[in-house]
């Protein structure tokens, strides 16, 4: 079964701290790993994505770390701010896995407290 397991379910971080959300996948045919950010009352929006030819991708305060051998990837939010408070979803897909459909994790609710 194509699954993406995400943890933790919820996370509370102090302002200025590092937020870390982890995901693990099973299907080795996955070759595209995006993260989505969702604010209350809004649809998810693409935040950052990585392909398995690199081990890390950084965009501003957001970094994806990718470990192909362990079949794990994680989102790191540096210098976390109250405005980062949102629900984050990891996902995975791959043409080799049969379709371009994304398989989503169940989400992590991040709260950044002042």
Which residues in this chain contact another protein in the complex, by CB under 8 A?
A: 9, 32, 34, 36, 41-46, 49, 89, 95, 99-102, 104-107
Q: Based on CB atoms, which residue is closest to another protein, 90 or 112?
A: 90
d(CA 87, CA 38): 5
Contact 16, 61 (CB under 8 A): no
Residue 88 CB, nearest distance to another protein (Å)? 11
Residue 114 CB, nearest distance to another protein (Å)? 25
Residue 58 CB, nearest distance to another protein (Å)? 18
Contact 61, 37 (CB under 8 A): no
Q: Based on CB atoms, which residue is closest to another protein, 17 or 32?
A: 32
d(CA 53, CA 114): 37
d(CA 84, CA 65): 19
Q: Based on CB atoms, which residue is closest to another protein, 10 or 14?
A: 10
């Amino acid at each position: 079964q194509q699954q993406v397991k995400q943890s933790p379910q919820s996370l509370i971080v102090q302002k200025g701290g590092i937020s870390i959300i982890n995901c693990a996948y099973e299907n080795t045919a996955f070759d595209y790993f995006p993260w989505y950010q969702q604010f209350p009352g809004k649809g998810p929006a693409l935040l950052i994505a990585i392909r398995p030819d690199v081990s890390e991708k950084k965009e501003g305060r957001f970094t994806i770390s990718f470990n192909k051998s362990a079949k794990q990837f994680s989102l790191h939010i540096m210098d976390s701010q109250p405005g980062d408070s949102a629900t984050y979803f990891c996902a995975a897909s791959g043409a080799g896995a049969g379709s371009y459909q994304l398989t989503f994790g169940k989400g992590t609710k991040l709260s950044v407290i002042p």
